Amino acid sequence: MKNNSIHSIVEKQRNFFNTHTTLDINWRIDQLIRLKIAVQTYEKDIMQALHEDLGRCETEAYLTDIGPLILEINEAIAHTKKWAKPETHFSGIQCFPSLITKVFKMPYGVTLIMSPFNFPILLTLGVLAATISAGNTAVLKTSSKSAHCTAVMKKLIESTFDEQYITLIDGGHDVADACLAERFDKIFYTGSPTVGRHIMHAAAENLTPVALELGGENGNWCIIRKDADIKDAAQKIAFFKACNSGQICININQIAIEQSIAEPFIEELKKAFIKQLGTNPHTNKEYAHLITEQAYDNCANEAETYKDRIVFGGSGNRETLRFDPTIIFPVQIDEPIVNHELFNPLLPIVPYDNEEALLETIASREHGLALYIFTQDTKWAENVISTMQYGGGCINEVCMHLMVRGVPFNGTGHSGMGAYHGEWGFREFTHPSTVLYGSTKFNLPLRNHPYKSYKKVLLKLFER
């Protein structure tokens, strides 16, 4: 798509936004209902596209993309009126006689949503539900890596919404840069920290506010203490690490485990992988594959670097792009594999015997998007999660915090900024406008010149 075409789309959307059509709350809800119906209408096509792009089976496609998307849209349909209602505040005696102030939740205007390949449906249309709820227009720039999902979503959007309201643009990095060259009123990006920096740099040209959902530079830690239920932990971790072949921004990047239980835990983890996927996971049709040959090669090459410490997995099939969940043990905490986001099914395990030193090292690195802790000592876990910097996480569970309604999903530092899901998504795509309702009667002259001594006394009384 040429730059002038993108510019034309943005201008059409700005003109449409300026008609104030999107400010009507009932109209927004109607658009959310249209989006839900469209997702349900195209459900089979979406499942097929997810299979072609990522090798997803139908159950996993519904579990991780379609089902959560429907829940997200339903929540917006049910609560947009409540979220959009202006807040009324008492202005305070210092503002007498103007006693009423309201906070209006105003849409930004024309938004740009840039989504990744790993959950192409949820992370595009789920964010779209938030921006619709908030009263914006939207340009969607989807990943060129998940081409089949992009094609389905393009049909879905074009058959449901007018281009002047919502449109989807496909293409590679050149098209993404052409979008970033336009003046948007809000940009929402999901992806890597490297591209996140590029987004912020481009947004700075127009002082455009951004929300970034990133994976983090050093990946997400899972800490397993010696008092943990290792069988329970193994079952949950095996499911999560295998899900979408490890291509999940909140997935476990590496495990830190107390030295004395490392080997028993690994045995449980092997059993869990075999129980869920068989002895050769890369031949299991329910196991998703890596997105591209390059992603497969990166995974296989890193596994080769650590081949002398692979205790489970390590095999794959480049033709199908499936690589086994692979346990690497032991790994030291300063090795390269635990200092970058993997985004694949490799799972390095770091044994530790000094808990304090472990936590200090994790805290010294870039903030992760997630933190997982397995322990029977809830007080210890609460102390850790309340003093570390990360996006979100779980105690004795994995990934399920993503499914909780009414709570934010977000990152911090190198794992992102901003938050969404439910009302938090509505807030992310609106800016609060504070308006005081002035009175024309009983106005006190305290603020007016000349400033006589009694005015200071009264001001101190009112403003203490």
Q: Which two tokens stand for residue 173?
A: 């990095």
Contacts of 123 (CB under 8 A, 6+ apart): 115, 116, 190, 213
Which one of 213, 217, 258, 423 is the catalytic residue?
213
3-state class (DSSP) for residue 387: coil
Residue type for position 105: K
Q: Which H helix or E strand runs over 416?
A: strand 416-417
Q: How far apart are CA 295 and CA 116, in angstroms?
A: 14
Q: Which helix (H) or strand (E) holds 223?
A: strand 220-224
Active site residue 394: no
Partner residues linked to 431 by β-bridges? 106
Q: What is the dihedral of CA 125, 431, 12, 200, to 10 degrees?
A: -70
Length in residues, the chain: 464
Q: How far is the C-alpha of 173 from the C-alpha of 308, rounded, in Å?
A: 38
Which residue is catalytic, options 222, 249, 299, 394?
Answer: 249
Residues 6+ apart with CB under 8 A from 78: none
If 0-12 CB within 10 Å is exposed, 13-18 middle and 19+ buried, where does residue 451 land? exposed
Query: Is residue 213 annotated as part of the catalytic site, yes or no?
Result: yes
Q: Regarding beta strands 322-323 and 368-374, do their DSSP bridges make them parallel or antiparallel, or are they unpaired?
A: unpaired
Catalytic residues, by residue number, are 213, 249
